[in-house]
Structure 1
């Protein structure tokens, strides 16, 4: 039991939970699925799989263009659907093993739940097949799950390809992704202990292939690197031991690659929610358990009783070689890509904001209309400012009369006080007049009117009813006539031309890595098959507090935000704007379009990037 607990902790990305005996269930459903093992059924699956592969190959470009972007595919709620599809597909997969074992006369007494990278799946214990003399029967049992998944994947390809976008379309895509990726990367791969491993072991007729390969590698390492001669294993093969060593090395390399790939997936998926450090910690924990296993094997070698001492020459040579290889790997220069979200807006666009608060009285333009600099765009009214102006004008009349009286009475002190009073009232009157003038919003440049981002409808807390004092949508909508417009509200924009530019939101950690002229590659979400190029022309010095709604993770974007009382999406982490001038554009581009951008910020060694991440994560101050 203690050994099982230790193994579970060492492989927490692949957790296997206790199971139950499914024998009665398998015996009950076997008659309904016996046809799957006939020759014509196997031929049908092969033809269907070949047709699906042919469809994808011939229509690959269109096939790729219909695939959603990473964050769209793995975002909520699609991720929930994917978990359900994984659970369903793996239940069928494992029952395929059990039914096949039953078909060839074996028994299955254990089936249970396993968490594969925290995704639900099943495992099926068909160790009873080891007693079968026919190795091809054992191979069939091992490959039954993949056989079922190929069938499901082929159907999913056609169903997804010919269906309209919607829930069913997404479920088919999920099923295709789950069955195809899991079959290729996990189930049929002989380097990890899943179906492919047992099929290879049965084909070679070598039980416990992994353990024997690891022992052969350990024996070779002990002799060539430490000068220790380990006792021979009586059950180890006498010939072709180099193939076992090669298999063990390949298995270890693949396991490391797999863990790092999963880590990259988790990091990319969790980053929009600000949880990327959780992915890093999980990765470090998983790598730590793997290193612990290596350390344990080394300890077993060193603690074994032996008659001869270790070879100092071999230890020195292997140590120098290991340090040299590690140093060479860490010194390899690697370009670092930074990913960022962006929105498109007109090139050199001028955003129009309200500088005074007031009620919306008149909108003099429409989206798409051409205007000249100084043209009236919008008029607000503020009765409070009008009252203040009349009050100051009345006070000014009184102050002027008082001054005239003081002059007539030849009272210099009274004249001086009256002049100071008049100057103060004039300052206040000019300030109010300026605010009233700002109620008439004019075009800052000549160009075409572009509507501002739509303001979401606000609800009263706890009631779900609309706040009647608020406005939503855009100022161009008739229902917002008379609505109160606060100071600093984005009313509209004026585009001087039809050219577009991209506005990136870059994290604070990456902002210092940016430079003017840095080339950028961009892909719009609604044009996934096209990549646009550009260069950074401007980098903001001040941080951005808010993000466009389409970039928020609440709308399927990459940026973690919280909604404030005014309905704006406030960033949870510091970010800076960077403007990119596009090298080319198409007629399909329009203002407000969003996507993902990436650019190389620097070339450093692997060790340099690791140290940079450590400093940023733990905020070291040297």
Structure 2
């Protein structure tokens, strides 16, 4: 009589494993440093997995009938050096199930797979929140487009074209190096280059270049026999770029093909950069000249900082990983660093891991630390860039907020790593001695950091003008007839600068002179007739007419403008063209400066600024300081000055004057409309009205002024206070939070 055994009474290790290898998987053998690995391609989910030999053999042995003990026996026979146990084999099966490369005929598998998918989606969303400066959006399948375009661009991979392109790129670098000083002198200022509307041009240029960059990856992958099934939009520092998934290159056995696919985008940008160099060098200032500079900046800076740098997980990282034949280089380096931290600081022994490197651990740790430090440098650089660009528009808080979230995400990742180390199951306890020593070292580092003196400096835009500048104004209205000087001319006192006319006053003077003659005749007649009353009245009228004539003659003398002092002529501030008002049909006033030849016959009102005269070669720097900075700047305070055309020179001078009244209009050269740092709005008269309350301060410059010129702009830097990092932190806390008992 046979008795059936209840399946629930059978040990789990003897029950059949209900998993089989998916028949649609594509598997290829790839060697890394002579060690074989298997790359598994999921053609449905377009996911790729790299398996070790024991993982691949475990996948092949899963047939839905073998149990855990049988699987362990088979693996131990093939890999006796691994000393696998049942728990290890169970972990292998679980890992294969998580990768979704096995399937089961049994019901109820959908729920577990759905849960795994939810966890993956949750992780993706959290990664997106952590990386606000690097957002990756869902994409599309570019394979049909790439196959359509490939016949037209196949010549780009011909050795002859590669040789000619390389020679072209090298020649552009030689041109740049030979004429580097000239290139540097022709570069625009920061605010001019990153101001509106050039920021829009940069934004569009970056988007277009990155499209070509990513198509370079896709085309090269197709050329070497791979496939590309995902391309999408990525926001890098809120600038639109593309991304192209060429993970199919993992299936290639030739590592140089993988490296070239990773470098294809960089090669495209380097070639475009060479074109931009030649275009910029051989064109005159204009739109094309300006766009070529944008093209050079985008293809050079982004390539160096992001794409080609192996410390960030972009093209350079994957190229180095393939060159060294170390897959998953960054995760392995990070894990090595965590294990060393856990051992030295907590006394926790790392668990044996067959996937981790057994040699060269120092270089893995060095790479992990370098990548971590470089991430901080990039975050700081992006924050400083956004703050500087957005500050003229009072939007610097956006850059600070983004930096705050980026820094929080970095610290969150560090805290999460420490938490995982502490919460990981282990048999041995944490070493209290090492933990205590680590806490003491940490406290010492924090204390030392808080004691570092940090000076707090403020910066203000600067415009240079001569010292004791004598302004020349019109004292009466009139029409410009002749202009005898130009900006830069040297004049002596009394030199005629400009001659004006006034037809109305000429007619008025002629009328008064006629009335004076008539009055003289009437006085003679009254005297002869002994009419004393009328004679007295007429004499009063004559005196009044003489006074009026004298005033008009003086005004006519003032129509001939003369130099009040000796010195060099400086043009008056330029008057911009007023806004066009369709409801106002009155004639527009003169524009430019009164010394422009185009303004001859222009009508000038009284108190019009004609020009200025610099009596000597000394200069004064005009500082435009914001309202919250005014109380921080004191008279006789030392100020450092840097001018745009002298980036290596620093001038030190003292404050001689601080304005009491707010400045209404900005100097034209400092307006963001002219590439300056000050945010202004053009009013109906064409003046640049300041958007923020600001004051004018002056700093006298008397030493080493040979290289200075009128109208130069730059930055002034002055010390507000010097405190330790801890004092600044406490000051910030007290100003942010109000503690009350």
TM-score for the superposition, normalised by structure 1 = 0.80
Is the aligned partner of 1:66 residue 2:181? no
Which of 679, 687, 701 aligns to 1:560? It is: 679
Question: Which of 81, 94, 97 lines up with 2:201 in the alignment?
Answer: 81
Greater relative contact order structure (CA < 8 Å, 6+ sep): 1
Rg bigger for which structure?
Answer: 2
The count of aligned residue pairs is 564
Q: State whether residues 106 and 128 of structure 1, in contact with CA within 8 Å, keep that contact through their aligned partners in structure 2.
A: yes
Q: Give the corresponding residue for 2:125.
A: 5
- The separation in 1 between residues aligned to 2:470 and 2:500, in whole angstroms, is 18
CA shift, 1:204, in A, is 2.4
Offset of residue 304 of structure 1: 2.0
CA distance in 2, matches of 1:610, 1:44: 58
Matched, 1:549 2:668: yes
Q: Residue 337 of structure 1 contacts residue 598 of structure 1 at CA under 8 Å; is this kept in 2? A: no
Instruction: State the partner residue of 1:309.
Output: 429
1:287-302 aligned within 5 A: 287-302=407-422
Tell me what 2:216 maps to.
96
Alpha-carbon deviations, 1:487-530, whole Å to 9, x = none? 8x655434323543332223344442566363534324xx4677
Q: CA deviation at 1:147?
A: 1.4
Given candidates 343, 366, 382, the residue that maps to 1:262 is 382
Residue 425 of structure 1 aligns with which residue?
Answer: none
Matches within 5 A, 1:317-332: 317-332=437-452
1:496 pairs, out of 615, 633, 642, with: 615
**Structure 2 unaligned runs (5+)?**
1-120, 509-550
Judging changes above 3 Å, is the alpha-carbon distance between structure 1 residues 582 and 90 closer, same or farther for their aligned structure 2 residues?
farther
Change (3 A) 1:440 1:537: farther
Residue 471 of structure 1 and its aligned partner are, at CA, apart by 5.9
| Preserved CA contact (<8 Å) 1:551 1:594 | no
CA distance in 1: counterparts of 2:431 and 2:441, whole angstroms:
15
Describe the superposition over 1:5-58 as per-residue Cα deviations: whole angstroms up to 9, x where unpaired.
Answer: 110111110111111111111111112222222322332233222222222222
Match of 1:148 among 261, 265, 268: 268
Which residue of structure 1 aligns with residue 395 of structure 2? Answer: 275
Provide the residue aligned with 1:428 in structure 2: none
Report the secondary structure of 1:533's partner residue: strand
CA distance in 1 between counterparts of 2:353 and 2:404 reads: 34
Task: Tell me if structure 2 keeps the 8 A contact 1:459–1:466.
Answer: no
Distance 1:379 1:99, change over 3 A: closer
Structure 2 match to 1:32 = 152
Q: Could you tell me whether the CA contact under 8 Å between 2:623 and 2:716 is conserved in 1?
A: no
The offset of 1:443, in angstroms, is: 8.7
Residues 536 and 321 of structure 1: CA distance in aligned 2, closer, same or farther (over 3 Å): same
Q: Secondary structure at the match of 1:120?
A: strand
- Contact kept in structure 1, 2:622 and 2:696, CA below 8 Å: no
Residue 364 of structure 2: aligned partner: 244
Q: Return 5+ residue gaps in structure 1 as ranges.
A: 387-432
Per the alignment, in what secondary structure is the counterpart of residue 55 of structure 1?
A: helix
> Is the 2:280–2:293 Cα contact (8 Å) retained in structure 1?
yes
1:535 matched to 2:653: yes
State how far apart, in whole Å, the 2-side matches of 1:522 and 1:616 are.
Answer: 34
Q: CA deviation at 1:225?
A: 1.6
Q: SS of the counterpart of 1:547? A: coil
Q: Does structure 1 retain, via aligned residues, the 8 Å contact 2:479–2:601?
A: no
Q: How does 1:429-448 map to 2 (within 5 A)?
A: 446-448=565-567
Matched, 1:105 2:225: yes
Q: Partner of 1:15 in structure 2?
A: 135
Aligned residue number for residue 201 of structure 1: 321
Q: Which residue of 1 aligns with 2:340?
A: 220
SS at match of 1:302: helix
Q: CA deviation at 1:88?
A: 1.6
**2:652 paired with 1:570:** no
Deviation at 1:3, TM superposition (A): 1.3
Q: CA offsets, 1:171-224, max 9 Å, x none? A: 211111111112221111111110111111112222222112111212222222
Q: Residue 664 of structure 2 aligns to a residue in which SS?
A: strand
Does 2:718 correspond to 1:597?
Answer: no
Q: What SS does the aligned partner of 1:282 have?
A: helix
Q: 1:564 to 1:246 in 2, by over 3 A?
A: same
Is the CA contact 1:504–1:580 (under 8 Å) kept in the aligned structure 2? Answer: no
- Residue 106 (structure 1) shift: 0.5
Asked if residue 342 in structure 1 is aligned to residue 462 in structure 2, the reply is yes
Could you say if the C-alpha distance between residues 64 and 470 of structure 1 is closer, same or farther in structure 2, counting changes exceeding 3 Å? closer
Deviation at 1:138, TM superposition (A): 0.9
Match of 1:406 in 2: none
Deviation of the 1:114 alpha carbon: 0.8
Rounded Cα–Cα distance in structure 1 between residues aligned with 2:636 and 2:242:
52
- Farther-moved stretch of structure 1 (448-457 vs 209-218): 448-457
Larger CA deviation: 164-173 vs 39-48: 39-48
**1:381-530 counterparts in 2 under 5 A?**
446-448=565-567, 450-459=570-579, 461-463=581-583, 465=584, 467-468=586-587, 472-474=591-593, 477-481=599-603, 484-485=605-606, 490=609, 492-511=611-630, 512-513=632-633, 516=636, 518=638, 520-524=640-644, 527=645
Write out per-residue CA displacement over residues 92-149 of structure 1, whole angstroms, 9 at most, x where no aligned residue: 1111111111111110000111111111111110011111111111111111111111
CA distance 1:90–1:613, change in 2 (3 Å): farther
Measured on the aligned residues, the alpha-carbon RMSD in Å equals 3.9
What's the offset of the Cα at 1:360? 4.7
Contact 1:71-1:558 within 8 A present in 2 as well: yes
TM-score by length of 2: 0.68
Distance 1:65 1:520 in 2: 22
How far residue 575 of structure 1 moved from its aligned partner, in angstroms, is 3.2
Deviation of the 1:237 alpha carbon = 1.8
Residues 169, 140 of structure 1: alpha-carbon distance in 2 compared, 3 angstrom cutoff: same
- For the residues of structure 2 that align with 1:168 and 1:273, how far apart are their CA atoms? 27
Q: Is the 2:484–2:496 Cα contact (8 Å) retained in structure 1?
A: no
Taking the aligned partners of 1:615 and 1:547, their CA distance within structure 2 comes to 35
1:159 and 2:279 equivalent?
Answer: yes
Distance in 2 (CA, whole Å) between partners of 1:266 and 1:186 is 17
Q: 1:324 to 1:578 in 2, by over 3 A?
A: farther
Shift of 1:75: 1.6
CA 1:616–1:123: 2 relative to 1, 3 Å: farther
**Secondary structure in 2 aligned to 1:544?**
coil
Compared CA separation, residues 135 and 223, structure 1 to 2 (3 A): same
Trace 1:365-376 onto structure 2 (pairs within 5 A): 370=491, 372=493
